[in-house]
Amino acid sequence: MISCDSKPFRIALLGPPASGKGTQGKNLATRLGLSYLSTGALLREHVENKTTLGLAAAPILLRGEYLPDALMFPIVAEWLEAQPAGWVLDGFPRSLPQALFLDQWLRDHSFTLSAAVSLEVPFDALLSRMRQRMECPQCRWTGNLSQLVEGGKCPICGSLASRRADDDEANFRRRYAEFENLTLPVIQHYGSENLLLSCDAAAPPAEVAERLLSHFNAAV
């Protein structure tokens, strides 16, 4: 069990594509009263709004690649500076340089990371999830095909849901390879700092959510 006596919590959520970071990150943030950042959703919002960042990011994201740190660091730092309390980060840090950037940002602000949570799911299960994954462009709900209501609509806001533009098998395999090359060293880094919490995320989402909450002694 993570020893987190000081609140608010500051949590980094790690895991391969389709491991449930969005679902679990949003739930964890809501149940613990924390802010939530999905770097993927934030970047897709920039792309849809055709901001300067979005125009630069669009071709990179469509190739299934990650944005370079020169673009990511200012975005994440700006978001962190705007948070009055704790948070859950989904999709950051993805690489060891990003983890070191976050370490330095925390030191500069006299904060500490409560835990880095690693969601673990077998590759075949991840691939199956990717094939079923849907997203709402309006409220940013993410889920699977079976959760859509009549007419292929989002179960939360009723808008038409769709597959993510970068969700095809070739991109998924490329993103998974990048996870192995880039993010596994991050997981090892937090393990060496005694901040790592490994979680079997192959179970149903509700079960995984309760398991995560139990580690943080959530009074829910």
**Rounded to 5°, angle at Cα 186 from 117 and 11:** 30
pLDDT per position as a tens digit, 93-135: 999 999 999 999 999 999 999 999 999 999 999 998 888 888 8
Residue 4 confidence (pLDDT) above 60: no
In a domain, 184, yes or no: yes
Rounded Cα gap, residues 106 and 10, in angstroms: 10
In a domain, 156, yes or no: no
Assess contact for 159 and 136: CB atoms under 8 A: yes
Assess contact for 148 and 154: CB atoms under 8 A: yes
Residue 177 confidence (pLDDT) above 80: yes
CATH code at 203? 3.40.50.300
**Going by DSSP bridges, is the β-strand pair 35-38/87-90 parallel, antiparallel, or unpaired?**
parallel
Residue 146, burial from CB neighbour count under 10 angstroms (0-12, 13-18, 19+): exposed
In a domain, 144, yes or no: no
For 163, phi then psi, to 5°, come to -70, 150
In a domain, 174, yes or no: yes
In a domain, 107, yes or no: yes
- The DSSP element (H or E) to which 45 belongs, if any, is helix 39-48
Ordered DSSP codes for 59-77: HHHHTTPPPPHHHHHHHHH
Name the residue among 155, 118, 120 with its Cα closest to residue 138: 155
In a domain, 133, yes or no: no
Residue 1 confidence (pLDDT) above 50: no
In a domain, 179, yes or no: yes
Number of domains forming the structure of the chain: 1
pLDDT per position as a tens digit, 178-195: 899 999 999 999 999 999
Residue 27 confidence (pLDDT) above 80: yes
Tokens encoding 218? 């959530």
Domain enclosing residue 109, as ranges: 10-122+169-215
Name the residue among 118, 126, 166 with its Cα closest to residue 144: 126
In a domain, 50, yes or no: yes
Q: For the whole model, what pTM was predicted?
A: 0.80
pLDDT attached to residue 172? 87
DSSP 147: G
**β-strand partners of 149:** 153
